[in-house]
């Protein structure tokens, strides 16, 4: 195979491997949920709360809190973020960007 045919075949192979936009969006949603879960876990421990105690504040079960902490609460909704902010006494900053790589940050309130 000559070089130009090889480059063409490589380009076609790359086009076939491109993920559909809905898969990319779902992957970003999973990444964001996992990042949120890590923040919730860290803040819960910092406050000395059990999953059950945080669940009471959130109006959900300890299993629900565990699901959030493991990144399994999909989709991440505005309602969930507001409830977490109240229950964990934090400000939640969600930065959404057109190209993905959204971020979520907790800012603790001053004591």
What is the pTM assigned to this prediction? 0.79
CA–CA gap between residue 26 and residue 24 (Å, rounded):
5
Q: Model confidence over 10-54: pLDDT tens digits?
A: 666 666 677 788 888 888 889 999 999 999 999 999 999 999 999
Q: Model confidence over 56-76: pLDDT tens digits?
A: 999 999 999 999 999 988 888
CB 69 within 8 A of CB 88: no
Greater confidence (40 vs 97) lies with 40
22-37-70-81 Cα dihedral, nearest 10 degrees:
-70
The domain spans of the chain are 20-108
Tell the CATH topology of 20-108: 434 Repressor (Amino-terminal Domain) (1.10.260)
């Amino acid at each position: 195979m000559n070089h130009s045919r090889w480059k063409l075949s490589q380009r076609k192979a790359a086009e076939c491997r491109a993920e559909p936009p809905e898969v990319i969006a779902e992957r970003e949603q999973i990444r964001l949920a996992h990042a949120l879960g890590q923040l919730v876990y860290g803040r819960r421990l910092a406050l000395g709360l059990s999953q059950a105690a945080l669940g009471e504040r959130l109006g959900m079960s300890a299993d629900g809190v565990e699901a959030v902490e493991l990144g399994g609460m999909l989709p991440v909704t505005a309602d969930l973020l507001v409830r977490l902010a109240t229950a964990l006494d934090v400000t939640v900053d969600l930065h959404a960007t057109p190209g993905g790589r959204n971020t979520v940050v907790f800012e603790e309130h001053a004591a």
